[in-house]
Amino acid sequence: MNLKYILPGLLIALFTVACSEDDSNYEAPIVNEVEGLNKVQEITNNDHTIELYTASGRFYTGYNAISIRIKDNTTGTYIENASVSWMPVMQMPTMQHSCPNTNPIKEPGKDTVYSGNIIYQMAFEDGTGWSLTVNYTINDMDYSAMAAITVMQNDDQNVSSFMGSDNKRYVVAMIEPKNPIIGNNELVVGVYEMESMMSFPVVQDFTLTLDPRMPGMGNHSSPNNTNLTYNSADNRYHANLTLTMTGYWVLNLKLMNTEGDILKGEAVTEDNIQSSLYLELEF
């Protein structure tokens, strides 16, 4: 018997068996689809647990990017095929109202995470008053879950709710920049009309003039800023914002309709150091 033919064949057979055993024992790595997010709270009903996440782990006044997952209470698995909507409501002493929001949709590249946003335009000092109802459909079955939520006041004014000169109520909220830098920043703002207590549609094709100032530094401005104009691709208003140094900035604004009528806000002058419509930024 010639060993030079037997030994290579034996080695190949052993290698094949070893590979087969390795393949059969291989387990795909577990992907954490909420990595980098922090759980705010859970909302439960008899069938499911709805997990709410944000980057900070809390809700604040202004723009909140929110991710949710829906867990089956029986199997412990997360739902991958839900259709989701929600309704935030604030209970006032004599009335209740909602706020601007975008319903969650499946986050690209993820199987179990749905993301949307809510703009809380106000909050009580202790964070109470708001509730969130989540309505969702799974395999043609409708479900709903509701719970009280805590919404804290942001340190800076990143949202403004006001009555315009046209006797309509508006909400203006800063969306970007989340992490400002010295130099050019993309400023992104949402503008919404309070059509009713529960409806806040996007306002299209208005203009927001921008005049950033540093009150603690002689109220100086900065160069190369642009006014905010509407972008139909994302239903938001975009501008260039130049920040020349770190510190506290006031973004003085004027809201103008399609005819150029000023609905809210004034120009900054020596006699008027700040507009009545403004947002704050500190970094």
User: Is 89 within 8 Å of 96 (Cβ atoms)?
Assistant: yes
- Beta strand 248-256 with 207-213: parallel, antiparallel or unpaired? antiparallel
Q: Would you say residue 21 has pLDDT above 90?
A: no
Tens-place pLDDT, residues 146-169: 999 999 999 999 999 999 999 999
Quote the tokens at residue 74: 């029986």
- Checking if the pLDDT of 3 tops 70, the result is no
Report the percentage of the chain scoring pLDDT > 90.
Answer: 89
Q: What is the pTM of this model?
A: 0.89
Q: How confident is the model at residue 9, as a pLDDT?
A: 54
Q: Evaluate if residue 17 carries a pLDDT over 50.
A: no
**pLDDT surpasses 70 at 264:** yes
> Given this model, what pLDDT does residue 14 score?
47
Identify the sign of the CA torsion 106, 111, 112, 113. negative
* Residue carrying the six token digits 């000092």: 125
Overall average pLDDT of the 240-266 stretch: 98
pLDDT at 29: 73
33: its two tokens: 């689809």
Residue 19 clears pLDDT 60, i.e. is over it: no
**pLDDT for the residue 23:** 57
- Please check whether residue 274 is in contact with residue 250, taking contact to mean a CB–CB distance below 8 angstroms: yes
Predicted confidence band at 203 (pLDDT cuts at 50, 70, 90)? very high
Which residue is listed with tokens 């914002």? Answer: 241
**Confidence at residue 8, expressed as pLDDT on a 0 to 100 scale:** 52
CA distance 70 to 84: 10
- DSSP per residue over the chain, as a string? --HHHHHHHHHHHHHHHHHHHHHHH--PPPP-TTTT-EEEEEEE-SSEEEEEEESSSSEESEEEEEEEEEEETTT-PBPSSEEEEEEEEEE-SS-EE---EEEEEEPTT-SS-EEEEEEE----TTS-SEEEEEEEEETTEEEEEEEEE-EEPPSS--EEEEE-TTS-EEEEEEEE-SS--SEEEEEEEEEEE--BTTB-PBP-S-EEEEEEEBGGGTTB--SS---EEEETTTTEEEEEEEE-SSSEEEEEEEEE-TT--EEE-----SS--S-SSEEEEE-
Question: What is the distance between the alpha carbons of residues 40 and 32, in angstroms, rounded to a whole number?
Answer: 17
Which residues contact residue 92 at a Cβ distance below 8 angstroms, ignoring those fewer than 6 apart?
129
Q: What is the Cα–Cα distance from 105 to 34, expressed in whole angstroms?
A: 15
Q: Given this model, what pLDDT does residue 31 score? A: 84
